[in-house]
Amino acid sequence: MRHGQGRQLVRAFALTLASALLWGVAHLATGRRFTGGVLATAYTVVFMGIGLCATRWRGHVAELAVQPDWLTLMMIGCLVLAVCWTLVIAVSWRLVRPEGLGAPSRILAVGAVTGLCLVIAAPFAFAAHNTLVARDTLTAIFGGHADKGDGRVLAGKKRLNVLLLGGDSGRNRFGVRTDSVTLASVDTRTGDTVLLGLPRNLEHVPMPQGPARQRFPDGFAGDGALTPGLLNEVYQYAEEHPEMVPGVPDGKRGPALIKQTVAGVLGLPVDYYVLADMKGFAQLVDAMGGVWLRIPEDITFGKYDEGRLAAGYRRLSGTEALWYGRSRTFSSDYVRMARQKCLLRAIARQADPGRVLTRFEQLAVAARHTIATDVPQKMLPSLLKLAGRVKDGGKITSLQFTPPLIDTSAPDWALIQRLSAQALASPSRKAADALHGTAEGSAAARKANVDDASSGGAAPSPADGAATSLDATCPS
């Protein structure tokens, strides 16, 4: 290759690279002013639009990103932009390439330009792929339910009540036991959230009107002749007995009955449910890269002391996080309930956009294996706005209906409903006031140190039954 051709080749590469960074440079350099101006204008419009979407219109884009139809358009847009950009690079090179290059130089030049096209197109192809994965995931999780109204269900609605269930299925168990039952009641205006936790071992749970009440007029008894039926058995019992929820298809009977049952116990409507199955929970945490938690003291897990989670601030793998939330060896259901809420809080706080983006496909696959819900797709934009209020300034408090506040073998259902109503009226103070206002509650309040908490003393443990802030009760 002659020295003059070498300079021409370097100039051609420089103009092609410049055209990749700003469309139209090569066209303008070769006297094609109109085409160059059109390309430069299109480039500016595209990137101004991307900048506005990432800043000023970010909230609107997020709402569109939870709607499958819009995700399809976004995916097509990414692919079209990738094709257009590579065409601009290829045409730019064709305009400025030097004539009379030898075969080795031509091969090297074509390879370099092809590599540049791949570098430019790769991020758009990655974005298109993730968009497709997101669309399929949303459809898999939320697409099997009839949309209610136009999705603006929250308009004029003071509170949204979502039942959060932790399903304890596994290789050695038949069906799903809902060992974690929590109603999240969210103030749609402020984002303030109250978590009302019901123990898995509540006995004699009153059943809703209809076939369920007719079969169990004195409260749920299950199939056991020697042991009473527990709250965590209601879900699977409905799945195995279609007559309990007539007209409801297979796979939806459990959610239908548990929603009605919890609504009756708390005296509050249940709008939707979300079930996180423990068999996929570990996979979800691993997809996040683990979760950091402070463990105040060693936690033993397994029926026969199979392992131990050491105390300290450490990153838990999926399996370790699962044991953190499930273990009750040398402990109790109520301590486990408190740990589960702290675990969910840690996961929510550590799911930052960067981590979600880099592990998006793994998270999506894990979510499909882990999450079931009856939230319709059209509700997602409204729920996304509400989630933003919860994260940005909402106060999260927790009220656990556990001993000594509630005797799980003979629960005071009227007290549970009264405390629930008071907790929603004012998340922390009203629940404590309600405790003081009853004879049963007074004893529980003394044991739970609600007097001290109300007067500025140490906050009670969430396992004691008082409404407390998760920030105050979860080790940080």
Name the token pair of 90.
Answer: 């290829």
Query: Percent of the chain, pLDDT > 90?
Result: 39
Q: Note the pLDDT tens digit of each residue in 87-122.
A: 999 999 999 988 877 788 888 888 999 999 999 999
Q: What does the pLDDT read at residue 402?
A: 87
Q: Note the pLDDT tens digit of each residue in 288-329.
A: 888 999 988 888 876 655 678 888 998 999 888 888 887 877
Contact 142, 377 (CB under 8 A): yes
Q: What b/e sequence results for 164-174 when a residue is b if at least 16 CB atoms lie within 10 Å of its CB, and e otherwise?
A: bbbbbbeeeee
What's the Rg (C-alpha) of the chain? 29
What ranges in 289-428 are assigned the alpha helix state H? 318-326, 333-350, 353-358, 360-370, 380-393, 413-425
Q: How far apart are CA 297 and CA 113, in angstroms?
A: 59
> Is residue 396 a part of any domain in this protein?
no
Q: How far apart are CA 399 and CA 417, in angstroms?
A: 12
pLDDT at 452 over 70: no
Of residues 410 and 470, which shows the higher confidence score?
410
Q: What does the pLDDT read at residue 4?
A: 63
Q: Note the pLDDT tens digit of each residue in 27-84.
A: 999 999 999 999 999 999 998 998 998 888 887 888 888 888 899 999 999 999 999 9
Q: Note the pLDDT tens digit of each residue in 197-238.
A: 999 889 999 999 999 999 999 999 987 655 678 999 999 999
> Is residue 316 a part of any domain in this protein?
no
Q: How far apart are CA 213 and CA 238, in angstroms?
A: 13
> Is residue 169 a part of any domain in this protein?
no
The string of DSSP codes covering 171-187 is TTS-S--EEEEEEEEEE
> Is residue 23 a part of any domain in this protein?
yes
The string of DSSP codes covering 429-444 is HHHHHHHHTSHHHHHH
Q: Note the pLDDT tens digit of each residue in 237-288.
A: 999 999 999 999 888 999 999 999 999 999 999 999 999 887 677 888 888 8
Residue 158's Cβ-count burial label (10 Å; 0-12, 13-18, 19+) is exposed
Of the candidates 217, 206, 199, 204, the residue with the CA atom closest to the CA atom of residue 410: 204
Contact 307, 323 (CB under 8 A): yes
pTM for the structure as a whole:
0.75
> Is residue 390 a part of any domain in this protein?
no
Question: In the chain, how many domains are there?
Answer: 1
Q: What is the mean pLDDT of residues 361-384?
A: 84
- Residue 21 belongs to what domain range? 3-142
Q: What does the pLDDT read at residue 476?
A: 63
> Is residue 138 a part of any domain in this protein?
yes
> Is residue 112 a part of any domain in this protein?
yes
Residues facing 314 on adjacent strands: 293
Residue 330: φ, ψ to 5°: 55, 25
Q: What does the pLDDT read at residue 342?
A: 82
Contact 373, 274 (CB under 8 A): yes
Q: Give the pairing of strands 312-316 and 371-373.
A: unpaired
Of the candidates 122, 26, 130, 123, the residue with the CA atom closest to the CA atom of residue 74: 130
> Is residue 284 a part of any domain in this protein?
no
Q: What does the pLDDT read at residue 376?
A: 87
Contact 463, 400 (CB under 8 A): yes
pLDDT at 191 over 80: yes
Most confident of 81-85, 358-362, 370-374, 390-394: 81-85
Q: Note the pLDDT tens digit of each residue in 107-160.
A: 888 899 999 999 999 999 999 999 999 899 888 888 755 555 444 556 678 899
Of the candidates 229, 166, 163, 162, the residue with the CA atom closest to the CA atom of residue 202: 229
pLDDT band at 86 (very low <50, low <70, confident <90, very high): very high
Contact 72, 135 (CB under 8 A): yes
Name the token pair of 339.
Answer: 């740990």
Q: What is the mean pLDDT of the chain?
A: 81
Q: What does the pLDDT read at residue 382?
A: 85
